[in-house]
Amino acid sequence: MPTMPVDNGFYVTSGFGPRWGTFHYGTDFGRGGGSGGHPVYAVKDGTVTASGPASGFGQWVNVDHPASNGGGLTVYGHVIPEVRVGQSVTEGQRIARINPDSRTNGGVAPHLHLEWHRYVWSPPGPDRLDPMAMLAGARWPGTPPKKEPRMAQPSTTYTQLTTVDRGWRDPNTVPLIAIHTYECPRESGERALRNRAQYQQTSGTGSYTVLVSADGKSLRANDDNYTPCASLHTGDRLGFHLSFLAYARDSRETWLAYDTQLREAARICAEWCRLYGHQPRHLSIAEMRARKAKGFCTHADISDAFGESDHRDPGKGFPMDVFLRYVTEALNPAPSPAPPTKEDELNTDQHRMLQEIWDQLRGPGGKGWPQLGKTEKGENLTLVDAIAEIRADLDKLMEK
């Protein structure tokens, strides 16, 4: 999660979007009582690619972010730079201060103008992203990094958390477990999962809660208490979103051929059921709209229920019946051993052998062997008793 470029107490004075008959490709930050001279911080780790005079900004700083950190480039305008080109900066590091000279920002009050470019510096257009969307979940400078969530949540093979989310939510208020297909081949392994998550991050196209690969590995892209960007607002907020690396056009036979993939997804879903009380059943559209029952749905169901998207994944071939049975099985793991059946009892030969061993030790009917001698009470000795007698006799002989 990134860090805000200004201190707590600043607010957005002008957002990303249409403004004065043109389009404002950035977010302006200011604070009551004046912003001039206040520090500006790098939103993420990166390398300074520009620092100094820039048309329209007075001066600016550009920071390029490595792909391993979500990629992109951020622009800090109307500032006095405090870093030089080529310098590495860390998230939350002070890199500039807001220029108090209004002549450098078109004569309005001093403020920070922040831009977020998709890959590298890009002219005005679709590769300039809404900075506030990218800053969703960001912390204020100087506050400790967000703790890993203390709450329990389903474990996954890998974790690669995204910044493309819709912010915090209470996972206890999430009624749906929504199934998607990523619309890609049935890829396997860590690299495939990480690449698919990374593509969503750098392209800003969306995110799921969990991705599951063909070989039954899983990757978490959002903690349960963050709303992913998987199905537009309502469906996103109401769901844990699990996406298979698969196509919605895949047939039922294809789905069933990837049993380990279904099983891993079912294991994760069963954990959600256990933690939050979802039932392993397919909710009706009416139930989804009522938002009372907790259960399963598809992205297609979300499209039908809330009308915000037209996606039909995971497709008609998705074997919801088998999948929910797997979830149920994962919820009720192997029952305790069954009582012994006929097969578990000794067969006739085994029984006879056991009887012989017992007879040898205890005598026929457990009454000792007459040839071993008798006790003081006149009973036949058993094998063990007889050996004890012999030892006692031996001891007496040795004493003499």
CA distance to 4, 5, 11, 28, per residue, from 33 (Å): 19, 18, 12, 16
If the CB atoms of residues 267 and 299 are measured against Zn ion, the closer one turns out to be: 299
State the DSSP code for 308.
Answer: S
If the CB atoms of residues 81 and 363 are measured against Zn ion, the closer one turns out to be: 81
If the CB atoms of residues 109 and 372 are measured against Zn ion, the closer one turns out to be: 109
Residue 77 Cβ vs Zn ion, minimum distance, rounded to whole Å: 7
Contact pick of 38, 117, 166, 180 for Zn ion (by CB under 5 A)? 180
Contact pick of 5, 26, 141, 295 for Zn ion (by CB under 5 A)? 26
If the CB atoms of residues 28 and 236 are measured against Zn ion, the closer one turns out to be: 28
Say whether residue 113 binds Zn ion (CB under 5 A): yes
Residue 72 Cβ vs Zn ion, minimum distance, rounded to whole Å: 18
If the CB atoms of residues 132 and 383 are measured against Zn ion, the closer one turns out to be: 132
If the CB atoms of residues 109 and 322 are measured against Zn ion, the closer one turns out to be: 109
Say whether residue 115 binds Zn ion (CB under 5 A): no
Residue 181 Cβ vs Zn ion, minimum distance, rounded to whole Å: 7
Binding mask 306-335 for Zn ion (x = CB under 5 A): -----x-x----------------------
The backbone torsions φ and ψ at residue 365, rounded to the nearest 5 degrees and listed phi first, read 65, 15
From 175-183, 190-198, 327-335, 377-385, give the range in contact with Zn ion by CB under 5 A.
175-183
Residue 241 Cβ vs Zn ion, minimum distance, rounded to whole Å: 8
Closest CA to 193 of 322, 133, 286, 185: 185
| Beta carbons of 354 and 310 less than 8 angstroms apart | no
Residue 271 Cβ vs Zn ion, minimum distance, rounded to whole Å: 21
If the CB atoms of residues 103 and 150 are measured against Zn ion, the closer one turns out to be: 103
Say whether residue 239 binds Zn ion (CB under 5 A): no
If the CB atoms of residues 163 and 181 are measured against Zn ion, the closer one turns out to be: 181
What is d(CA 72, CA 77) in angstroms, rounded to the nearest whole number? 17
Binding residues for Zn ion, how many (CB under 5 A)?
7
Contact pick of 4, 228, 299, 327 for Zn ion (by CB under 5 A)? 299
Binding mask 196-235 for Zn ion (x = CB under 5 A): ----------------------------------------
Residue 180 Cβ vs Zn ion, minimum distance, rounded to whole Å: 3
Residue 340 Cβ vs Zn ion, minimum distance, rounded to whole Å: 49
- What tokens appear for 303 in the block? 């499209």
If the CB atoms of residues 26 and 175 are measured against Zn ion, the closer one turns out to be: 26
From 1-9, 20-28, 208-216, 246-254, give the range in contact with Zn ion by CB under 5 A.
20-28
Say whether residue 363 binds Zn ion (CB under 5 A): no
Residue 231 Cβ vs Zn ion, minimum distance, rounded to whole Å: 6
| Per-residue H/E/C for the chain | CCECCCCECEEEEECCEEECCEEECCEEEECCCCCCCCEEECCCCEEEEEEEEECCCEEEEEEECCHHHCCCEEEEECEEECCCCCCEECCCCEEEEECCCHHHCCCCCCCEEEEEECCCCCCCCCCEECHHHHCCCCECCCCCCCCCCCCCCCCCCEECCCCCCCCECCHHHCCEEEEEECCCCCCCHHHHHHHHHHHHHHHCCCCCCEEECCCCCEEECCCCCECCCCCCHHHHHHEEEEEECCCCCCCHHHHHHCHHHHHHHHHHHHHHHHHHCCCCCECCHHHHHHCCCCEEEEHHHHHHHHCCCCCCCCCCCCCHHHHHHHHHHHHCCCCCCCCCCHHHCCCHHHHHHHHHHHHHHHCHHHCCEEEEEECCCCCEECHHHHHHHHHHHHHHHHHC
If the CB atoms of residues 83 and 114 are measured against Zn ion, the closer one turns out to be: 114
Residue 158 Cβ vs Zn ion, minimum distance, rounded to whole Å: 21
- Point out which residues bind Zn ion (CB under 5 A): 26, 28, 113, 180, 299, 311, 313
